[in-house]
Every structure is written in C-alpha cells, then in structure tokens.
Structure 1
Amino acid sequence: MPANDQPGAGAERPVPNILSAVRLPSSAHSSRSLGPRPLVRPPRIEPGMTIGIASPASAPPDDRLEQGIAILRARGYRVVLAPHARDRRGYLAGSDQDRAADLTGLFARPDVHAVFCSRGGYGACRMVDLVDWHVVRASPKAFVGFSDITTLHLAFERRARLATLHGPMVVTLGGGISAGAADCFWRMLERPVPFGEYAAAGARTLVPGIAEGPLAGGCLSLLSAAVGTPDWPDFRGRIVLIEDVGVPTYMVDRCLVQLARAGCLREAAGFVVGAATGWRDQERDPAEITPDDLWQELLAPLGRPAIVGFPFGHEPDPFTLPLGCLARLDAGRAVLEVLEPAVAAR
C-alpha cells in the first residue's frame, strides 16, 4: 500500500513479512539478465557412446564409484575417468586447477559424448571460474549432477547457454535407485522427445494454479550462495526447483530469506519444492518450526503456483529434471509436466 493511502476505519492492515518489506529498483536484475538467446540442448546419447566422469567438488567413495561405473557399462556405454577424478585433498577432489582442467578436458574431447559428475559435496564454487567456458560453448554435451553441482548448473546456463540435467550422479547410481527413477534418467538422456508428466505420488499442493516456464534452480543452499556472484540466479518467469539435505530448518529459512531479499523469488512463475530430507528438527523438538511452516510463510504469500514433496535431488529415488527446458506446473493437481526434450537429435 502506498505511504499516502490510509485504510478506512475497521479495515485490516496486511501483515508485513520479508516478501512485502523488500523494495528493489525495477532494474535490479538488468545487469544480470540472461537476454533473449535460447539455451542450446545437448545432443542425445545412446549405448556405444562414451561418458566422461569428473569430480568437480568432493572425491567419490571408491566402492560406489565403481558400482556406478558398472551400471553405465551394463547399459552399453564406454566410460572414461578424468585424470583427477579420484584425487583427494581433504574435502576436495584435488586442486581447484585440476578439477577445472578435468571438466574442460572432457568437453574438449571429441570422443566423449556426455559428462557426468561423480558426486557433489563441496568445491564447485572454487573451480567454476577456472573452467574454459569457450571450450564448453564450442562442444555442447549432456551434463548431469545435483547438490553442490548446482553452482555449475547456474554457470552452464549463464556462461555457455547450455541446458543441463539435474539428476543422479555416478555414486547415486552406484547406491541404487528405483526402476522408475532410472527410466526417467535414461529417457531424458537418450530420447529427443518431451518427457511428459512425472508420476510423483508424494507431491502435494501448496498454492493452486497453473504456471509455465523454463525449469531452474536446484540445491537451496547453493542457490542462495550464488547471490552476488557472476552467476546470480535469474528466476524471472521460471518454475523454480528448491531442495536440500541435512540442513537445520533455520538455515533453510536463512537461504529462502536471502533469495527473497535479493529479489530472486518475486517474479518466478512457480515453485517445485523437494521433500524435506534431513530437515526435520521437530523430531528432536516438537515445537520447532518445520519446513512446511517456511513454505507457508515465505513462498505461499508470493501467490505463485507451488507444490511441495516432489522427489528430486537428494531423495532416494530422484526424478531427473531438465534445467532450461519449458515445463508446465498444475499445482492444484500437484503435477509437473516437461514440454520440451532435454536433448536434441544428432
């Protein structure tokens, strides 16, 4: 309400919160606008082709890495490991320079047709600016990962205009996923047709309504950490994906507020929130604020169609989501539908 407009007698004043209090100039996003250029969809892959594996963040456990590689080979793919994919330096998979060189190198190789991340963890933010993005733009390939890899998804869109896949990593495959999750994963990579509707039984309505827009987002803590960087999230007109794991609820709160105060949420088309894996502080204290409380307080007032409980990311059986591809959210039915192929025909 403008400052010079006073409510009439007996009128209720709106309850202020962070969403109504934030005031940004209309040009707040102008310097980081993605512009009109469409994203490039990577070519499809098929058995007989080669998948390259990099470790841009933390080092993978050897046993699950080997199990994941075995699954890729059983599908009929050749597999090459980047030179430093098994390196270990504390919580990092080797030096920043080596991790960046590995990722660049896999995109530079004409005999590698897709790039899978071995795992997430931490460290993508330390190497993202060392990647040769000219090489990536010159040789678009399917790129798959989630969690800490959210940092790279943002950079692939911003710097290479490449659509990527928010989906299981090699150690995720090695740990075992359901047949339905595996079918979704391979359909996204191998078939240049729209995936259609997800059968997400646990999803439920937060705000009813219908929204269309490209998919964007990922791991909440990484999205909020990107504010103020060259890859600042631009969610205008997007269906925003939000999930995380093992974080206290107050940190979920802080990350959402950070995105709200930065103006990243108010022009989104809609929201798809993952299951609250590992966020249940109320199991220790029944009086604790819950993630559902946060969605009601910080997302619902935006009035955008929204669902919660959608299985992706850190969920045991995660759906693969094509970032940058057009989707339709029918929040009243708690249904998400992908309208564009994740990959292009060769």
Structure 2
Amino acid sequence: MRTIKANKLLLIAVLAIASLTLNAAAYKSSKSSEISTRIRNSANYQNSKNTTENEIIIPEGLKPGDTIGLIAPANYTNENSNAEVEYLKSRGFNVVYGQSFYSKWYGFGGTDNVRAKDINDMFANPNIKAIFAVRGGYGGIRIVDKLNYDTIKKNPKIISGFSDNTTLLLAINEKTGLVTFQGPMADNLKNIPPVTENAFNKAFMSNESYNLLDFDDTYSIMKNGRGSGKITGGNLSLVVATLGTDHEINTDGKILFLEETNEASYRIDRMLQQLRLAGKFDKLQGIILGDFKNPKQADPTDMTIDEVFYDNFGKLNIPIIKNFKSGHVRPFITVPIGAKAKMDTYNRQIIIEKATK
C-alpha cells in the first residue's frame, strides 16, 4: 500500500516538473519572439527614417523693397558680415537684424535659445520676406531641435546660408518640404562676381526654370548620364552629422550636392564611406560635387581628392559633375535644396524647375 502511494506521489511530482518545464520553455520562446519582433521593428524604423516625403513648398521670390531678416545661427558676426548688409541694401532691400546678429555666447551668435528664437520669430513675422544667415562656423546642430517646424511650414519664405547652416537648411526642407537655399553669405557678396549675382537673381528673384550649369563653365563632367529628382545635400561633414538623428538626410531618388573645405583627402574618403555604408548612394539620381577647398593629402600615400571621388562614385551608373562653383569659393552659385531638377550631362544641363514663385 505504501509502495502504491509512493508511486502515485512520484508520478504527480514528475508530471508537475514536466508542466513547469513546458511553461518555462513556452515563456522563453514567447519572450524571444517578442525581443526579435522589437529588434525588427527598431531596424525597420531606422531604415524608414525620413523616407516620408513632404510636398514641395516653393517660397515667394524677392523684389526690391522687400525686407530681409539677418541672423547669425552659428558663430557670431564678424567684419565680413557687413559686406552682406551693404550688398542687400544696394539691391534695394530693407534689412532687419535678429538678436543673434548682435549677440555673443562663447563662439556663437548668442545662446541656443536666442538663435533658434530668431528663426522662429522671423518665419512667423509676415513683414519679413526672407531670412539670410551672415555666417557659418559651428552651432546649427545645437538648435535644430528647437525650431518650430509647424510655424515654418505655415509661413514659408526664403531661408539661405551655407557651410554649417547645412544642418538647418536640410532639417527645414526634410521636415516641411520648403525649398531652402545653399546661398552666398558675408564676403561672398563683397565686390560680387557676376556669376554670383546672376545665380542670386535666378534663385531668389525669378519664378522661371533655369539651367544651373549656365552660370559658369569651369565644372567638369565626371560621368555622363541623365537623372531627375529633388536636390539635397550641402557641406559634407554636416550632411554626415545628420546620420542617426531625427533629422537624417534622405537621398532616395534625389540629386546629391556636396561641398567641403580644409579637410584632408582621407577624411573626405571616410565621410563618403560612411554615407555609402548608410545606404545614401543606393538610390541616387545624380551627384553635384561643388568646391572642395584645400583637400590636401595628409600622407604622400593617401589618395588624391579626384582618386577619392572615382573610388567612391566610379561604379555608380548616374550623372556626376565636379568642380561646380558652390561652397567655400568665389564665385558662388546658389543651389536650391529641395527643388526639382533634371540633370543631363550630355546636354550640359541641370534644369531647376522652380526655386521661387
């Protein structure tokens, strides 16, 4: 009798252990599946970041008598900033100054809040028809998350700058669809070259289509082809700085413009490789390589800048031009970021459909 009872107890214990083992396995499988799903969803989120396209918003063009707001969204103003003021006044524009124009905080044109407020306030002000930066340097990335993109989208207008301002111009274009401008600043407008002024007029004061390659013929064709899409890009190091952020550049189906200054050729190669590994070259329609100023070889065995370009882009089956006069260079050709363009190197054309209206 005792043996039968013992056997029953043993059987019950075995069944209980088996049940616990099965439940534990099921729980582990469930958690593993849940974790896998989270990882996949996270990866899908990263891959889909900034792939939703806003409709293109074309800002109104300028005319004499319009008011332009001047800001220092990165480094504080210097003596070269006055050249921009004088040029704009000579063209018949009124100018007003943001608080950042007069402010200093470390190397910046005022605190982050001051610089961001200037941009938000000027977009909200109906009397201001355009916003021009007077200097680059460093600081735009510190305020990109402080901009009111709803206000910007509801009050579209020209905003222009280059170099460090790439961060702001890209973010505004990506978040709102507003065409922004890689445009001349400060001493780019001093004793202004005809090429710079002609491009300024077409970009900011005309509502017609035009050929971006008509202004200057010193560019060269690296690879023939045809492609069409919105233009995106700017300063290379600032484009790379957007990766992994909520303001990451979207290059799918677009024409990529890049420029840089005072970076060694191996550093340019590293940044281009980072863009390649991030998939930013996979669906390009064309490439415009602007001015790459002082691209020295840090070591005699390093690639030259042209070798860097051919190594990174040589296998892409898209049109590519280089030595385009835009960036840290005189003359300076304004490039509308977010505008539709048709690139045809066979006919030496990059037709901008419309930059302003």
TM-score, structure 2 length as denominator? 0.83
What is the aligned-residue identity percentage? 29
Cα offset, 1:171, TM superposition: 4.2
Moved more, 236-245 or 300-309: 300-309
Which residue number corresponds to residue 228 of structure 1?
244
Q: How far did residue 302 of structure 1 move?
A: 2.1
Q: Is the 8 A contact 1:29 1:234 kept in 2?
A: no
State the match for 1:181 in structure 2.
196
**2:318 alignment partner AA:** R
**Deviation at 1:90?**
2.7
Displacement of 1:281: 2.7
1:151-200 C-alpha deviation (Å, 9 max, x unpaired): 011111122221111110244314x4311211111221111111224233
Number of equivalences: 314
Match in the other structure for 1:317: 331
Q: Which residue of 2 aligns with 1:211?
A: 227
Alpha-carbon distance in structure 1 between the residues aligned to 2:242 and 2:49: 15
1:116 and 1:170 in contact (8 A); partners too: no
Tell me the amino acid that sits aligned with residue 311 of structure 2: E
- Does residue 307 (structure 1) correspond to residue 313 (structure 2)? The answer is no
CA contact (8 A) 1:118 1:171 kept: no
CA contact (8 A) 2:341 2:352 kept: yes
Output the CA distance in 1 between the equivalents of 2:154 and 2:127: 14
> How far apart, in 2, do the equivalents of 1:31 and 1:69 lie?
39
2:75 to 51, 55, 58: 58
Q: Specify the structure having the higher radius of gyration (Cα).
A: 2
1:191 maps to 2:206:
yes
Q: Pick 1 or 2: higher relative contact order, CA cutoff 8 A, min separation 6.
A: 1
Which protein has the bigger helix share? 2
Aligned to 1:342: 355
| 2:344 matched residue in structure 1 | 330
Give the secondary structure class of the aligned counterpart of 2:238.
helix
In 2 relative to 1, CA 227–112 (structure 1 residues): closer, same or farther, beyond 3 Å? same
Residues 122-133 of structure 1 aligned to structure 2 (within 5 Å) = 122-133=138-149
Is the Cα–Cα contact under 8 Å of residues 211 and 270 in structure 1 kept in the other structure?
A: yes
Check the 8 A contact 2:166/2:239 in 1, yes or no.
Answer: yes
**Correspondence for 1:165:** 181
Match of 2:310 among 286, 296, 299: 296
Unaligned runs of 5+ in 1: 1-24
Partner amino acid, structure 2, of 1:68: E
Q: CA deviation at 1:214?
A: 1.2
Residue 301 of structure 1 deviates from its aligned partner by 1.5
Alignment of 1:112 with 2:125, yes or no, is no
- Looking at structure 2, the residues matched to 132 and 26 of structure 1 have their Cα atoms a distance apart, in angstroms, of 27
Structure 1 stretches of 4+ with a deviation exceeding 3 A read 25-29, 285-288
TM-score, normalised via structure 1 length: 0.86
